[in-house]
């Protein structure tokens, strides 16, 4: 990704507290007593087996799911230019097919009092940052999955988010695109320092991006363990033995639940 205007996107000092959050769907407990501190400027990855409530938790953080109990508190001032403090990046991209790439990115900006030139400048800035400048006028249907997700990222960055909420953003992509985009995410997050909550079931993604990895157990989803990784994102390599050991530890924690989930889904 381009270096253009990275400084303008830097946003530090915004953290989140998830306090005793519980949720149920039609009487079935999905999440119970979730307490997590999401430190400012860090990536908190949430992993867990299918049906453990990872996406529900992210929905609660983003205000898209009303929790039954507990609260989510945002710490710090997102700044005057932040148009949407808690900003989602969606698994299925959620792009408007009737808007061009630039149109999708400017969608939210149009809803705010911002003159045309400032809006165009901000759109150009995030398109450059995500390597989409030459695709500004393309329709989403003309783009590959990886490029569509770049548009999703550009749209999210355009609102100067305080916290990025990423819901399995790479799961709809092929393995090669996923690896490439994962490196770009890591670089972008490291450079901007934006606080990020990243939900995934993919353990290599978790150890590649996470400063903290929250492991959820299933039915109801509870925090089983929180693993810290202090290695800087820029230094992480897929063949790093320390990271591989953490990945194995995560798998050991999740294996039984994942097997149970697979049997249930089958």
Residues engaged in binding other proteins (CB under 8 A)? 62-64, 83-84, 86-88, 90, 92, 94, 96-99, 107-108, 110-111, 139, 141, 155, 159
Give 150 or 222: the residue with its C-beta nearer to other proteins.
150
Q: Residue 60 has which token pair?
A: 């609660």
Smallest distance, other proteins to C-beta of residue 159, A: 7
DSSP 144: -
Give 92 or 260: the residue with its C-beta nearer to other proteins.
92
C-alpha R_g of the chain? 18
Q: Where are the beta strands (DSSP E) in 76-200?
A: 86-89, 163-167, 195-199
Give Cα 225 distance to the centre of its chain. 20
Nearest to 258 by CA among 51, 7, 71: 51
Give 69 or 94: the residue with its C-beta nearer to other proteins.
94
> β-strands 163-167, 86-89: how paired?
parallel
Smallest distance, other proteins to C-beta of residue 87, A: 7
Smallest distance, other proteins to C-beta of residue 177, A: 21
Greatest Cα pair distance in the chain: 55
Q: What element of type H or E holds 51?
A: none
Give 110 or 264: the residue with its C-beta nearer to other proteins.
110
Give 62 or 204: the residue with its C-beta nearer to other proteins.
62
Give the Cα separation of 155 and 160 in Å (integer). 10
Give 84 or 195: the residue with its C-beta nearer to other proteins.
84
Smallest distance, other proteins to C-beta of residue 196, A: 15
Q: Across-strand partners of 24?
A: 29
CA torsion, ordered 169, 172, 178, 183, to nearest 10 deg: -10
Smallest distance, other proteins to C-beta of residue 171, A: 14
Give the Cα separation of 198 and 21 in Å (integer). 18
Smallest distance, other proteins to C-beta of residue 125, A: 18
Q: Classify residue 75 as exposed, middle or buried by CB count within 10 Å of its CB (0-12, 13-18, 19+).
A: middle
Give Cα 192 distance to the centre of its chain. 14
Smallest distance, other proteins to C-beta of residue 140, A: 8
Q: Are 108 and 115 in contact (CB under 8 A)?
A: no
Give 150 or 155: the residue with its C-beta nearer to other proteins.
155
């Amino acid at each position: 990704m381009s270096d253009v205007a990275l400084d303008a996107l830097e946003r530090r000092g915004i953290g989140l507290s998830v306090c005793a959050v519980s949720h149920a769907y039609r009487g079935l407990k999905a999440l119970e007593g979730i307490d997590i501190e999401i430190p400012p400027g860090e990536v908190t990855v949430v992993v867990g087996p299918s049906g453990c409530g990872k996406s529900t938790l992210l929905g609660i953080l983003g205000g898209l799911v009303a929790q039954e109990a507990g609260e989510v508190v945002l710490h710090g001032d997102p700044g005057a230019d932040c148009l949407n403090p808690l900003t989602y990046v969606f698994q299925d991209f959620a792009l408007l097919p009737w808007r061009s790439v630039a149109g999708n990115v400017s969608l939210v900006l149009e809803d705010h009092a911002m003159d045309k030139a400032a809006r165009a400048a901000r759109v150009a800035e995030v398109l450059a940052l995500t390597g989409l400048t030459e695709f500004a006028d393309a329709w989403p249907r003309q783009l590959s999955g990886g490029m569509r997700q770049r548009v999703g990222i550009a749209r999210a960055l355009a609102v100067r988010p305080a916290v990025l909420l990423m819901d399995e953003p790479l799961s709809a992509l092929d393995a090669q695109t996923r690896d490439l985009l994962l490196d770009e995410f890591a670089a972008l997050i490291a450079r901007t320092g934006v606080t990020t909550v990243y939900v995934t079931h993919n353990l290599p993604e978790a150890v590649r991006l996470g400063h903290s990895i929250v492991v959820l157990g299933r039915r109801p989803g509870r925090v089983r363990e929180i693993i810290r990784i202090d290695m800087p994102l820029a230094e992480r390599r897929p063949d790093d033995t320390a990271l591989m050991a953490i990945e194995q530890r995560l798998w050991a924690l999740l294996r039984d639940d994942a097997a149970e989930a697979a049997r249930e889904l089958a």
